[in-house]
Structure 1
Amino acid sequence: MQLAYKLSGEEQPGRPVVILHGLLGSADNWLSQSKQLATERPVYLVDQRNHGQSPHAEAFTYQAMAADLLEFLTEHDLDRPFVVGHSMGGKTAMFFATQYPEHLQGLVVADIAPRYYPVHHQQILAGLKSIPVDSIKSRQEADKILSERIPELGVRQFLLKNLTRKSEGGFEWRMNLPVIDQKIEQVGEALPADARYEGPTLFLRGEHSDYIQPKDEAEIHRLFPKATIETVAGTGHWLHAEKPDEVIRLIQAFIDSAS
């Protein structure tokens, strides 16, 4: 699958970085942060399948998304980049690293562990499905409908970035909402018990997030024996949006040490 992407920085000597967004997100989620990393290297912001401007497909598994990433690296002739992934993107990055370890220099996983996660996006998906995209007249109308299920303005603004105007008028979802809704349980899939990546790895967790818990640390170190785990103070699951400078500082220091 030919994935859509955005490029920060020019072709430079530094080893490239590829960043993968989370569920219901897109390349734009890391656009401002990527510019800080792009002073010494090109940074590729990738839309994963069924998200952003990338193609839609019925298959929505981490195996498929890892294969997409391998195809992307081959297509753009990227030699062993650093791969950074947040949440669902972090799972994709973990699957990729354990299946294709020779194709990356190092791995950064933002606020997700290799374990199974039960489905917990039902309210969000129900809210998105409640919006009649074929008939709404404005984003404000969509936001009003979504607010009945999701009171947090910031969450609604993030989700409604997926709403786009059609050239012929009206709105549509940029993401593949029916497939994401149908196959949401696959997003929580655990890495295989025999998975292993022995390259340099950094796990970042938000201090107030429960996505990486103390009980996860033993499994992280078993599957990723060279992993270090850093906690970003004062952040939740969206640590890169809440403390972008600190997250980029940690990623930059990791890249410097692993290059």
Structure 2
Amino acid sequence: MDIIVNGIKLNYEVFGEGIPLILLHGNRESHEIFLPLIEQLKSSFKIYAVDSRNHGKSEYTKKFNYEIMAKDIYEFIIKLELKGASIVGFSDGAIIGLHLALKDSKILNKLVLLGVNVTPKGLEKAFYDAYKNDLDPYNQMMFKQKPIRGKDLNKITNDTLIVYGEHDVITRQQQLRIYKNIRNSKYISLIGEDHASYILKPDKLHKLIYDFISIT
């Protein structure tokens, strides 16, 4: 399905019935990365799986960054009357979720942030050094992102679940900084997992999301 928001066309798919849940994928991906997770959640949630601007089947534009993409999702929520939906964001999708909560926390219910960082310096050094000077626009978006400060994270009032893999590319220091600055947050590190492995094989993840979103 397509919808016009913020002057562009976004592609999205809807699965299941129940509590509304919006899924936001990571860099260079599409909503299809979530298909294994969707299979395990669609019996309990009405899932809106979105292709972000410049990804998947959504429209491609010259300019794109996390703030613009958050505005896309804000208008998506307004247009489809999804106020009160929860967000599950992975990597860049989690950054978009943070910007959305900072823009208007009341439009959301809960946040699930998977493998999120709030500054490029929160990436492991080997990963940072390998890509920091890459001129690819998708890498530039990651490495030119404006840091989200601790005092901004303090403003987020939504119940928030923060999940990382034990071997994530996000530093432990960054993980704990985010957790400590979001007041109503819960932190989980999944043993044996890396940045994306628990998304692709979500046997551990789906129950965490179900339990967190379902509890009122």
TM-score, scaled relative to structure 2: 0.83
Q: Which residue of 1 aligns with 2:28?
A: 24
Pick from 3, 28, 33 the counterpart of residue 10 of structure 2.
3
**Structure having the higher Rg:** 1
Q: Which residue of 1 aligns with 2:148?
A: 191
Q: Which residue of 2 aligns with 1:211?
A: 170
Change (3 A) 1:179 1:252: same
SS in structure 2 of the partner of residue 18 of structure 1: strand
- Which ranges in structure 2 are unaligned for 5 or more consecutive residues? 1-7
Q: 1:60: Cα distance to partner?
A: 1.5
Please say if 1:64 is aligned against 2:64.
no
Q: Which residue of 2 aligns with 1:162?
A: none
Change (3 A) 1:67 1:44: same
Pick from 229, 233, 248 the counterpart of residue 206 of structure 2.
248
Change (3 A) 1:29 1:120: farther
Question: Does the aligned pair in 1 maintain the 2:23–2:89 contact within 8 Å?
Answer: yes
Q: Which residue of 1 aligns with 2:160?
A: 201
Change (3 A) 1:255 1:180: same
TM-score, scaled relative to structure 1: 0.70
- Which ranges in structure 1 are unaligned for 5 or more consecutive residues? 127-177
Pick from 32, 52, 58 the counterpart of residue 54 of structure 1.
58
The letter for the 2-side match of 1:68 is: D
Pick from 84, 87, 91 the counterpart of residue 88 of structure 2.
84
Greater share of strand = 2
Size of the aligned set, in residue pairs, is 201
Deviations 1:131-161 (A, max 9, x none): xxxxxxxxxxxxxxxxxxxxxxxxxxxxxxx
CA RMSD of aligned residues (A): 2.3
The letter for the 2-side match of 1:230 is: I
SS in structure 1 of the partner of residue 22 of structure 2: strand
Find the aligned partners of 2:138 and 2:108 in 1 and give their Cα distance. Answer: 28
Question: Does the aligned pair in 1 maintain the 2:23–2:49 contact within 8 Å?
Answer: yes
Q: 1:199: Cα distance to partner?
A: 1.2
Change (3 A) 1:105 1:58: same
SS in structure 2 of the partner of residue 22 of structure 1: coil
